[in-house]
Amino acid sequence: MKKKLIAGNWKMNGSLAANEALVRAVVAGLPQAACKVAVCVPAPYLAQVQALCQGSALELGAQDVSRHEQGAFTGEVSAAMLADFGVRYAIVGHSERRQYHGETDELVAAKAQAALARGITPIACVGETLAEREAGQTEDVVRRQLAAVIDANRSRLGEIVVAYEPVWAIGTGRTATPEQAQQVHAALRAQLAAATPQPERIAILYGGSMNAANAASLLAQPDIDGGLIGGASLKAADFLQIIAAAG
């Protein structure tokens, strides 16, 4: 069985002092972990967290990456720069970036491509809004979002990670039920199966108010290969409990 992946998404949270305490506590609890664990941190803290992760199994991630290689793109961070700091994962297409920064399916797919070109695993996020779910459009929406990533990355599809994050569940305390999540994950797996010979190799994470209490039942679903954890990744004890649930 492939190892599950638990990835923390700190979003725009942290400080030098808070990061140090959090990462030290997570690293101290990791030797018991049977799954892969990463933290996706704000770009200014990559060097700090890289140093704190040294010699441990905790892997480093970023929350975004530019589609461009280099040049006059003020404020952007390239995949090569991330690779310089030992970054293994980059979230692309998080719903907060789609919503607040106007990121399109096409841009998200290009960002995934830019990450792969530098040996960084993109964690490509898909997910429907509450209005889309209520209109019965959930599978259409996530399929459209994933199709763009598939089309742009066919030859390297086996190297990506997908994260299903229903927008209505993010930061709201409202989690998809394990059955709701599994249904969408199965649809995503079927879509991947049509595009790559080994779809089971691609980890499909669930994200959206996953916490210490609900992680085990979500992670027990056959097509849920891990979690992308926001709020609960900021508390070492909670994050470690989720990691234990993935063991």
How many residues touch ligand PGA (CB under 6 A)?
13
158-177 binders of ligand PGA (CB under 6 A):
165, 170-171
Q: Of 71-79, 105-113, 203-211, 215-223, which part binds ligand PGA (CB under 6 A)?
A: 203-211
State yes or no: is 68 an active-site residue: no
Residue 93 or 231 with smaller CB distance to ligand PGA: 231
Residue 165 or 225 with smaller CB distance to ligand PGA: 165
Contacts 24+ apart (CB under 8 A), 41-46: 41/10, 41/14, 42/10, 42/12, 42/13, 42/14, 43/77, 45/14, 45/16, 45/19, 46/82, 46/85, 46/87
Three-state DSSP string of the chain: CCCCEEEEECCCCCCHHHHHHHHHHHHHHHHHCCCEEEEEECHHHHHHHHHHHCCCCEEEEECCCCCCCCCCCCCCCCHHHHHHCCCCEEEECCHHHHHHCCCCHHHHHHHHHHHHHCCCEEEEEECCCHHHHHCCCHHHHHHHHHHHHHHHCHHHHHHCEEEECCHHHCCCCCCCCHHHHHHHHHHHHHHHHCCCCCHHHCEEEEECCCCCCCHHHHHCCCCCCEEEECHHHHCHHHHHHHHHHCC
Exactly one of 33, 148, 229, 242 binds ligand PGA (CB under 6 A); which one? 229
Residue 199 or 230 with smaller CB distance to ligand PGA: 230
Least Å distance, CB 231 to ligand PGA, is: 4
Residue 45 or 164 with smaller CB distance to ligand PGA: 164
Query: Is residue 9 close enough to count as binding ligand PGA by CB under 6 A?
Result: yes
Exactly one of 78, 209, 214, 221 binds ligand PGA (CB under 6 A); which one? 209
Query: Is residue 230 close enough to count as binding ligand PGA by CB under 6 A?
Result: yes
99-118 binders of ligand PGA (CB under 6 A):
none
Least Å distance, CB 225 to ligand PGA, is: 15
Query: Is residue 87 close enough to count as binding ligand PGA by CB under 6 A?
Result: no
In the set 94, 96, 103, 128, the catalytic residue is 94
Residue 78 or 209 with smaller CB distance to ligand PGA: 209
Residues that bind ligand PGA (CB under 6 A): 9, 165, 170-171, 207-210, 228-232
Positions marked catalytic: 94, 165
